[in-house]
Amino acid sequence: MTAAANPRTPVYLDYQATTPADPQVVEAMLPYFTGIFGNPHSQGHGFGRAARDAVEAARAEIAALIGASPREIVFTSGATEANNLAIKGAARFHRAERDHIVTSVTEHKCVLESCASLAADGFTVSTLPVQADGLIDLERLEAAISPRTVLVSVMAANNEIGVVAPLAAIGRLCRARGVLFHTDAAQALGKIPLDVEAMGIDLMSLSAHKLYGPKGIGALYVRRRPRVRLEPLLSGGGQERGLRSGTLATPLCVGFGAACRIAQTEMAAEAERIGALRDHLWRRLSQELPGVRLNGTAAARLPGNLNISIPAIGDAEALLAALPDVAISTGSACTSAAVEASYVLRALGIGEAAARTGVRIGLGRFTTRAEIDYACERIVSAVQRLSACAQPAWSNALEAIETGPAGSP
């Protein structure tokens, strides 16, 4: 691979972990660090009102991307806080009459840990398994809902394997049973169409840095009709309709809004381009790597996600170490310090050995064909080097991979 064919190294292919801020987003934010620096809650003078107007414009841009009203958008520090507020807030507000939560085993850690915290406080939590394709069984979900169920929480798109949940079907089920439906849409926002009305969603967690916005800002959609009531996590000045006290970071809000505005116009074309690059990468890897397998369904998947098990490497960490100029990951960035195999991959029913060989490759807005070809060559070369010293683990991994959904994403 010549330098001309690959003008940009190292190659970044971890877009599910985070995305670079779009230059248009940075440009939109800059004036609000210096010239328009007022506190958006200080409305007695022009500095504060200018900041407030910018925040409200951003709120409208975020709402438009998910089919919501601007008044239904509550700013948070990110999706982790939004998930905590949605799950703990709804459960605690309705505790007197309902004390049961339903979720799935492949949810983000902040959802699972929020549910665990509630369980320790006396709530009942049903954590449902997923099928071999990574999707929840709707019949099993329906059976898990009881008269005491207050909330169902199922993520829109999985952060590791990229599978997209049947949100509209879950929404209809929850609405028919009178249960709140929360979805963690941090990975889905700006990548696939979302409509809170059409999908029957009551609470939706969002994050800016997954769609080319700044880190440190997110939002929670909270339905107003019929009204969803939450108990706040923070005590303070009562900002954000009393649901999230604290001074808003105007530049970050503006950046989040700008990122959503860009996604509104570019999402369809971008998904087509990125999906084509991903399919090209998968074709090459599946042809050149023995025993490689796709994790999660190919039919309903984020366009930029490819999660594969490569049994020849023995352990995914060895592959990452052998690729200093290609950024891929072994799973969620939020659990990357853990040395055990991915809990998401294990939930699909593949064995421990196969789960240890799983890698996540994330493509995004700034990924080029040259980068994909370069990364493919580097990955194949590294696997070939590693395979000679990983034969026992390779054999175990091949035995552990069960027959299931595989093929072209």
In angstroms, the Cα distances linking 195 to 69, 130, 189, 263 are 11, 24, 10, 14
Specify the CATH architecture of the domain 23-263.
3-Layer(aba) Sandwich (3.40)
Q: Report the C-alpha gap between 14 and 18 in whole angstroms.
A: 7
Q: How high is the mean pLDDT in each 10-residue block of the chain (409 residues)?
A: 56 98 98 97 96 98 98 98 98 97 97 98 98 97 98 98 98 98 98 98 98 98 97 95 96 98 98 98 96 95 97 93 96 55 93 92 97 96 85 53 52
Structure tokens at 301: 């998947």
* pLDDT given at position 351: 87
* Phi, psi of 307, rounded to the nearest 5 degrees: -120, 120
User: What's the 3-state SS for 22-87?
Assistant: CHHHHHHHHHHCCCCCCCCCCCCCHHHHHHHHHHHHHHHHHHHHHCCCHHHEEEECCHHHHHHHHH
Q: What length is written for the chain?
A: 409
* Phi, psi of 329, rounded to the nearest 5 degrees: -140, 170
Q: How many other C-beta atoms lie within 10 A of the C-beta of residue 234?
A: 14
Catalytic residue among 115, 174, 260, 334: 334
Contacts of 322 (CB under 8 A, 6+ apart): 382, 385, 386
Q: Report the C-alpha gap between 307 and 157 in whole angstroms.
A: 13
Q: How many other C-beta atoms lie within 10 A of the C-beta of residue 395?
A: 13
Q: Is 267 within 8 Å of 191 (Cβ atoms)?
A: yes
- Examine the residue annotation and report whether 334 is marked as an active-site residue of this protein: yes
Domain spans, the chain: 11-20+267-400, 23-263
* Phi, psi of 116, rounded to the nearest 5 degrees: -65, -40
**DSSP 8-class letter at 319:** H
* pLDDT given at position 3: 40
Specify the CATH architecture of the domain 11-20+267-400.
Alpha-Beta Complex (3.90)
Q: What DSSP line would sit under 189-256, residue for residue? A: TTTS---TTTTT-SEEEEESTTTTS-TT-EEEEE-TTTTP----S--SS-TTTTTS-S---HHHHHHH
